[in-house]
Amino acid sequence: MIEWERIERWDYVIDSVASEYCRKFEIDFEDIKQSLYQWFIEHPNKLNEWEAIGEKDAKNLIYRSLRNQALDYCQRWKAKSGGYETSDLFYYESDMVEALLPSVLRGDFNITAQLNLGRPGRPSAPNEGGNLMAMMIEIDFGFWKLSKDDRKILFLRYGEAMHFDEIAREMELGSEDTARMRNKRAIKKLIHRIGGFKPYRDEDTEPQDSLES
């Protein structure tokens, strides 16, 4: 059982993560915060291990785990409020978003066919049933939440079909590699705007004494 004082030590990290996901999903700050407290209760051995290596490294590891905890909580909340099963939760991937962006940026939403963009062993989009138009609308919504520069590089790449060397000259980025990296980051930001990548399942570690016995 973790003492409350130990959890309070990390309140600044908890508040930071709760604020981030409160903004992303428009879910009550305190509800997210309570889910983050639950992580500490469920991972006492991992907390012992991480605190032993020093505060800086422990903070980074705890921050990463809490962000996954928050994402998992928010996705489950999204599923419940949307009326579909949590087992049907759908996560966009970079190649899928890149495949849909040209049509999204052209405003070509007149697609009525069903398209399953899932991977083997993974469900298609949840309550949309894999509906292409629903996914495109969601991507369009996320696109307009990006910064002006991120929208521009995505528009040049997927709306205008420009090569990265042309984008680098147009946006004065210095090199083709820089343009490619900026595009990759913009795609990641877009995915986070529409729910984020799939969170990993964080298991607690075994106590050291049990490993030695």
Where do the structural domains in the chain lie, given as residue ranges? 4-83, 88-193
* Confidence (pLDDT) at 32: 94
pTM of the model: 0.53
- 82-88 long-range contacts (CB < 8 A, ≥24 apart) are 82/126, 82/127, 83/127, 84/126, 84/127, 85/126, 87/123, 88/123, 88/126, 88/127
Question: Minimum mean pLDDT among 58-67, 98-107, 119-128: which range?
Answer: 119-128
Both tokens of residue 132?
Answer: 């292409």
Residues 149-177: tens digit of each pLDDT = 999 999 999 999 999 999 999 999 989 99
Residues 121-132: tens digit of each pLDDT = 444 444 444 467
